[in-house]
A and B are shown apart, each in its own frame.
Chain A
Amino acid sequence: MSDLTTPNLHIDADKQDISVRATGVWIVQQLAARGRLDEIGKQLAHVHSKNNSDNDKVHWDLSGITRLDHLGAQFFWNLWGKKPPNHLQLGVGHDALFERLAQLGDVGLLKSPPLRFAWLYALGGALFRFSDHVVGFIQMLGQLALDTGKLIKHPLRGPWREVSANVFHIGAQALGITALVGFLIGVVLSYLSSQQLRLFGADIYIVDILGLSVIRELGPMLAAILIAGRSGSAITAQLGVMRVTEELDAMLVMGIPHGFRLILPRVLALVIAMPLIVVWTDVMALIGGMVSAKNALGLSYSFFINTLPAAVSLPNLWLGVGKGAAFGLLIALTACHYGLRIKPNTTSLGEGTTASVVTSITLVILADAVFAILFKDVGI
């Protein structure tokens, strides 16, 4: 029973007085052992049930405690209802702990009362946040227009080094992944369509189906979604970390505007790189489709390539490439918008990056729908 390394309680209940004698080590590592506090609590519940009046008659003898820390002291203190009991005996040097507790008194955490109509506040908050985002986005668009004007006026003073670095990171380094995904989607699309076309004996229309869908729709969409996930998140995280490390503030202090040196180069880079990536993805998807058309339907490569220009008119290509540039603009603006709004803490960084990718993909799909309606008579 009297193990010296664990907290122990000895309870002696006479007719009138109850004495509780604590011995052993009452420190956090011991008290935090699984089930120990419950066990002690159970023992003490026993005391309280026997002595159903008040605590005043209990004699507390803590002089047998060899080591006591703040957790142990706080445990007893809470047990006594945050005041010293009438009959108390303390070990050597332990009174300082209880003095500190008595001095501190009962300090509660200030909790604000629960709001009535909390849903109304939530709705209002959401509306304000949304309008704040919209205003911020429009402001950034305006700033971008001004910065572009400045660039056209003094083209030699433009941030060309940043632009070329971003074209490399966003464009050149994305060639591998876009090629792989484009090729595979081409293969899948071609296999699926060829199954259906063979039923009707309309094998040669595979070129029309693949050409039109890839060049007009799928190429730009695939490229945009991949780039939004890959580069949109990178831009947001980069700007967010610059906020955390105060680099953004340092730039402002040196008189370097964020719009001209951070946003403009990224937007320019994406507007330049996206159409190129769209063309690259188109080519890879068509090669994938061509390979599987040869396997599934026996169409020769030369037939495929020769028929393609007749099947897909030129406006479709321009439409696809133009969409690429527009998507690039949207992705860059969304990524910068969220990046500059990140607050200097880790949660905000994660939330901002997620919001940036989700929003830019949603915007790209929305814009694609708008394009589909606006250009429904072009090229088909």
Chain B
Amino acid sequence: MAMMTENIIEIRNLWKIYSSSVIHQDLNLDVHRGEILSLVGGSGSGKTTLVRQMIGLEQPTRGKVKVFGELMDGSVSQHVENARNRWGMLFQHGALFSSLTVFDNIALPLRELKTLPENLIHDLVMLKLDMVRLLSADADKMPSDLSGGMVKRVALARALALEPELLFLDEPTAGLDPESCESFVSLIRTLQSALGLTIVMVTHDLDTLFELSTRVAVLAEKHVIICASPKEVLALPHPFIQSFFLGERGQRAMTALNLRKP
């Protein structure tokens, strides 16, 4: 059992205060190795802020955030730099470099290491493109020529370039049509099991949530009110959960959950 619950991320007594408003108040959260953890909450509940603190883009006002055992407090050390190479982030709008081709976007993190030969980089980029189910003909395109779904795939390929163990997804399916949304979800699931990834995901989309999550962390009242399997979360009698999951929208998505786990 001890092996099962190795914590990749540990958040302890986290407070985040912007000039006048408290975003997080005494928040605790663990992310276990190999799971897909979804963060849900109303808009403005600080989901994205929490993820930004995990990857060190913002610092907590009080409390500790540890990723791979390294304290993320804004100090720059070799350990933090090494930890940084062990995670990837998929931004909500892709955040592709608009002046680089698809190929160069994915090759960028590999080239930044400055030691890999170009032919190896080429093969790896082609492999990543294949893994996110893009064609080699897409490699020469510019980000402005891509559809929304393709942008997300390229961004995912770039996030996976350095073979991360931990992947952050910010609204992975926002802005996609149902079909590409579904294929992106199945892509994430395939990659997660093939590469043994740990995934932390922010999402509003209930279908995605129930399809993927091993555990769901609900952010409300400035802290995590529950972090458990989807079924246990649904059983909690809390007004936010009732309205978020058990509305008409939720009922439809629930059928997916029941189909998946009979």
- Pick out which of these stretches binds chain A: B123-131, B178-186, B247-255: B123-131
- Pick out which of these stretches binds chain A: B31-39, B138-146, B229-237: B138-146
A344-B98, A345-B98 as given contacts; A96 in contact with B123, CB under 8 Å: no
Q: Please encode chain A, from 31 to 70, with 1 for each CB lying within 8 Å of some chain B CB and 0 for all others.
A: 1111111000000000000000000000000000000011
Whether A32 and B115, one on each chain, are in contact in the complex, defined by CB atoms closer than 8 angstroms, is yes
Is A363 in contact with chain B by the CB < 8 A criterion? no
Is B4 in contact with chain A by the CB < 8 A criterion? no
A33-B115, A104-B127 as given contacts; A74 in contact with B120, CB under 8 Å: yes
Number of A-B contacts (CB under 8 A): 75
Is B3 in contact with chain A by the CB < 8 A criterion? no
Classify chain A: how many residues form its interface, as a range.
20 to 34
A70-B163, A78-B123 as given contacts; A345 in contact with B142, CB under 8 Å: yes
Q: Please encode chain A, from 59 to 91, with 1 for each CB lying within 8 Å of some chain B CB and 0 for all others.
A: 000000000011100110110000000000000
A78-B120, A100-B127, A107-B130 as given contacts; A346 in contact with B115, CB under 8 Å: no
Is B259 in contact with chain A by the CB < 8 A criterion? no
Is B61 in contact with chain A by the CB < 8 A criterion? no
Contacting residues of chain A (1-58) with chain B, CB-CB under 8 angstroms: 27-29, 31-37
Is B43 in contact with chain A by the CB < 8 A criterion? no
Whether B99 and A107, one on each chain, are in contact in the complex, defined by CB atoms closer than 8 angstroms, is no
Q: Give every chain B residue within 8 A of A69 (Cβ-Cβ).
A: 163
Q: How far is the CA of A278 from the CA of B143 in the complex (A)?
A: 45
Q: How far is the CA of A49 from the CA of B119 in the complex (A)?
A: 23
Is B122 in contact with chain A by the CB < 8 A criterion? yes
Contacting residues of chain B (91-119) with chain A, CB-CB under 8 angstroms: 97-99, 103, 110, 113, 115-117, 119
A344-B98, A345-B142 as given contacts; A71 in contact with B120, CB under 8 Å: yes
Whether B163 and A345, one on each chain, are in contact in the complex, defined by CB atoms closer than 8 angstroms, is no
Q: Give every chain B residue within 8 A of A348 (Cβ-Cβ).
A: 99
Residue of B nearest to A93 (CB): B196
Q: How far is the CA of A347 from the CA of B143 in the complex (A)?
A: 13
Main secondary structure of the interface of B (DSSP, over half): helix
Q: Give every chain A residue within 8 A of B122 (Cβ-Cβ).
A: 109
A29-B82, A345-B98, A345-B143 as given contacts; A71 in contact with B163, CB under 8 Å: yes
Whether A34 and B127, one on each chain, are in contact in the complex, defined by CB atoms closer than 8 angstroms, is no
Is A255 in contact with chain B by the CB < 8 A criterion? no
Q: Give every chain B residue within 8 A of A104 (Cβ-Cβ).
A: 126-127, 130
Q: Give every chain B residue within 8 A of A101 (Cβ-Cβ).
A: 127
Q: How far is the CA of A343 from the CA of B143 in the complex (A)?
A: 12
Q: Give every chain B residue within 8 A of A108 (Cβ-Cβ).
A: 136
Whether B163 and A28, one on each chain, are in contact in the complex, defined by CB atoms closer than 8 angstroms, is yes
A28-B162, A32-B116, A33-B115 as given contacts; A70 in contact with B124, CB under 8 Å: yes
Is A118 in contact with chain B by the CB < 8 A criterion? no
CB of B147 to closest CB in A, whole Å: 15
Cβ-defined partner of A29 (8 Å) among B85, B137, B144:
B85
* Most chain A CB atoms below 10 A, which of B85, B124, B143: B124
User: Beyond the given A28-B163, A71-B116, A345-B99, could you list 7 further A-B residue pairs with CB under 8 A, ordered by the A residue number?
Assistant: A28-B85, A29-B82, A71-B163, A74-B124, A109-B103, A110-B140, A345-B98
Q: Identify 8 residue pairs between A and B in the complex whose beta-carbon atoms are under 8 Å apart, listed by A's number.
A: A28-B85, A70-B163, A71-B163, A100-B130, A107-B126, A109-B136, A110-B140, A348-B99
